Structure 1
Amino acid sequence: MTKKSPKKVVLAYSGGLDTSVILKWLQTTYGCEVVTFTADLGQGEELEPARKKAELLGIKPENIFIEDLREEFVRDFVFPMFRANALYEGQYLLGTSIARPLISKKQIDIARKTGADAVAHGATGKGNDQVRFELAYYAMEPDITIIAPWREWDLTSRTKLLEFAEAHQIPIAKDKRGEAPFSVDANLLHSSSEGKVLEDPNDAAPELVYQRTIAPEDAPDKATEITIDFEKGDPVAIDGARLSPATLLAKLNELGKANGIGRLDLVENRFVGMKSRGIYETPGGTILHKAHRGIESITLDREALHLKESLMPKYAELVYYGFWFAPEREMLQALIDKSQELVTGQVRVKLYKGNVEVTGRTSPYSLYDKELVTFEEGAVAYDHRDAEGFIKLNALRLRTLAARKKKTGL
């Protein structure tokens, strides 16, 4: 092998079939000590079984790390991204992408704490996640050894994974022995499903794919109306009740689920060069995105808003590609956060059968002036006659072009 053999590896470990096989494969292939790290990002699964499974596979208790990262995830990763109104390719709210830098950061922290000289992940060689994990690792620890089993081993099918598991006494739940109809990744912000029954983009996704939302047509016939309070671009309260970041997002998820909000069937362009089809559910995030744009509409200056909007696709692309810790993302974040200093106030939102509608917005820093926009005559600082000169100045180049066309016919 050309890769330097590690002595101790920190593995991003879920306790499932794939990462359990990876754990044993690392031990048998490299003869190294393995440290497991399991993150609670609000995926909705019990994590203690991962501890028991790691112990069963010979991992020392002091080398098993399980951390509740829900508050840090929402506060330090989701909310900063939502200040940017980030949408990849105009639609995707980046639920998987934004979780990877936090997992990577914690792996590197644990590697430093335990003296590990390598990290490992379970991402495949065709997906975006391998890039996201590894760019983050290198950004924090430039000389770290990275092991990506799916790019190295010959366990290229589920049958081979199961055979390896059986050969090494890795317990497999009965319901995990069959071929899964699609793969799922989930956290507090979203769930994503792809592969198998979803691979043909012309076939509608079966209803069983959806786990975080009810169908819009099954949602209540009566709208739900809520208010969301913002401070400096971040949501802080629902219906006047202040909530922690993770609790607030979880509450929005409940409201979104009950009203059939947040479904997206998307064919996207992966960073590695291929197109893929995914089913995304982001109920709370969809509400938050609309509400945030609502409070920005009255608090941001026109040119500040337009500049921010022009930078959003680049910001979203950086997050999707895995450049969270890159200087250009941090530079954009500084600009975005500067724009949010007075994005404070309350937005009223109506939720109804898959739709999110902003019905009201108020702020102590509002730039909306009723006297300026009213059609009624009033004591306003606007002289209609000023518009003539404004229009003529803006039309000057157009008039010059028209004169040339009239003269030359070109």
Structure 2
Amino acid sequence: MKMKKKVILAYSGGLDTTTIIPWLRENYDYEVIAVCIDVGQGSETEGLEERALESGASKLYIDDVTDIFVNDYVIPTMKAGAVYENKYLLGTSIARPLIAERLVHYALKEGAEAICHGATGKGNDQVRFELTITALAPHLKIIAPWRIWDIKSREDAIEYCIMHDIKLNMNKDTSYSRDKNLWHLSHEGLELENPAIEPNHKKILQMCNTLEEAPDESEYVSIDFEEGIPVAVNGMKMDGTSILRTLNSIGGKHGIGVIDLIENRVVGMKSRGIYETPGGTILYKAHQELEHLCFDKETYSFKQIVATKFSELVYNGQWFTPLREALSAFVDETQQIITGTVRFKLYKGNLVLAGIESPFSLYNEEISSFSTGELYNHKDAEGFIKLFGLPMKVRALMKEKNNMLYEEVEE
């Protein structure tokens, strides 16, 4: 008996991937092997096996790579200070290369000829998944149903599932496109597609309290870093995953890390989404404050350039590239002195710096104080200013010679 060819499906159990299973069987006659990569999405993995098998998959793998996600993707991106377009902490973007890498692993393990994903033809994820698959296993076929099937909307997908007697845990009024992992939760679609509409946070948010629901009392939290890596919260040593879970709880309680973002997608269009990143926002801010304390001016300035480029590479799905690896090497070199403790006061969405210290601090009170210290002679500033302003003086002399100096207009 001839064996059916196999396809690996990136499976979340959501509307898109639930719809894809019967569609693949109907249109390709594949054996569909569903693979859920667990990057900390929590209860979303519950009941997935039953749902996948009922939808027509032959089996389901659930691969928990949460620790790898935090240690090898989240923390390196945080150390780089990568923030896409000055707002987005790259929650979905960071996870995609790891998910795609694991899909390749299972495709090779099962002898599958193809990998299928549920990303739309308008989105970023199709780029991220396919670039990674190409970088790691270029021989594998890639199937992207949203680019070729007749289904045009989430409403159509719901109708397709109803026609195929597939049970759904959603309806047309609550079918936001969501992506969740331990780092963040994103919300897109429905009324959010109109930027003029104020989002109903009470209906949307799941990781964070609304500002109205946040406690009326502030709370202090401290984070310890060693060489740029968070190692403790409130003095308690923890691994990276436990730190993020702890800060998600604390930050979410106080409504930290909710943004309303209109971003420029890889494919050229803009999109609007609500993003919740409570623990990540605290970590980014704490790490940034330590860098302000410990970096010299030139290093800090150049690292901002690196951070911008790093964010673009992650956003664009270019994790497995020589440039990203080289930038990570630069970041790791700079992080050797990013050790210390940062303390914040949290209150209704606000992170207020409440103290910072490091053995590698470049802040020298004897030099910086308004009181005169032995290490700084005020008279030295005169010569510095003359030399620093010499190009301006030379230009002014030239303009004076040519009668080009500014003349104040008389009223």
| CA shift for structure 1 position 383 | 2.8
What is the CA deviation profile of residues 14-43 of structure 1, one whole-angstrom value per residue up to 9, with x for unaligned ones?
123321221221122112222211022222
Distance 1:168 1:267 in 2: 36
What is the CA deviation profile of residues 262-305 of structure 1, one whole-angstrom value per residue up to 9, with x for unaligned ones?
11111111111111111111111111111111111222222111
| CA shift for structure 1 position 179 | 4.2
Secondary structure in structure 2 of the residue aligned to 1:341: helix
2:20 is matched by which residue type in structure 1? I
Distance 2:111 2:315 in 1: 30
Matched, 1:143 2:139: yes
Indicate conservation of the 8 Å contact 1:181/1:197, yes or no. no
Q: Which of 318, 323, 327 is the equivalent residue of 2:318?
A: 323
Q: Which of 5, 14, 17 is the equivalent residue of 2:15?
A: 17
| CA shift for structure 1 position 181 | 5.2
What is the CA deviation profile of residues 112-143 of structure 1, one whole-angstrom value per residue up to 9, with x for unaligned ones?
22222211100001111111111111111122
Give the corresponding residue for 2:181.
187
Q: Which of 236, 239, 243 is the equivalent residue of 2:238?
A: 243
| CA shift for structure 1 position 7 | 2.6
The TM-score normalised by the length of structure 1 is 0.93
What is the CA deviation profile of residues 231-262 of structure 1, one whole-angstrom value per residue up to 9, with x for unaligned ones?
11011100111111111111111111111111
Give the corresponding residue for 1:367.
362
Change (3 A) 1:301 1:159: closer
| CA shift for structure 1 position 163 | 4.2
| CA shift for structure 1 position 159 | 4.7
Change (3 A) 1:376 1:158: closer
2:189 is matched by which residue type in structure 1? G
RMSD: 1.8
Matched, 1:56 2:50: no
Indicate conservation of the 8 Å contact 2:21/2:57, yes or no. no
Give the corresponding residue for 1:38.
36
Give the corresponding residue for 1:386.
380
Secondary structure in structure 1 of the residue aligned to 2:247: helix
Q: Which of 334, 339, 358 is the equivalent residue of 1:339?
A: 334
1:165 is matched by which residue type in structure 2? C
Matched, 1:108 2:104: yes
Aligned residues: 400
Matched, 1:408 2:406: no
| CA shift for structure 1 position 374 | 2.0
Change (3 A) 1:216 1:157: closer
Is 103-112 or 384-393 further displaced after alignment? Answer: 384-393
Q: Which runs of 5+ in 1 are unaligned?
A: 1-5
Give the corresponding residue for 1:267.
262
Distance 1:342 1:266 in 2: 33
Indicate conservation of the 8 Å contact 1:182/1:197, yes or no. no
Is 45-54 or 117-126 further displaced after alignment? Answer: 45-54
Give the corresponding residue for 1:3.
none
Moved over 4 A (4+): none
Indicate conservation of the 8 Å contact 2:15/2:168, yes or no. yes
1:127 is matched by which residue type in structure 2? G
Indicate conservation of the 8 Å contact 2:31/2:58, yes or no. no
Indicate conservation of the 8 Å contact 1:219/1:259, yes or no. yes
Q: Which of 187, 194, 197 is the equivalent residue of 1:200?
A: 194
Identity across aligned pairs (percent)?
Answer: 48
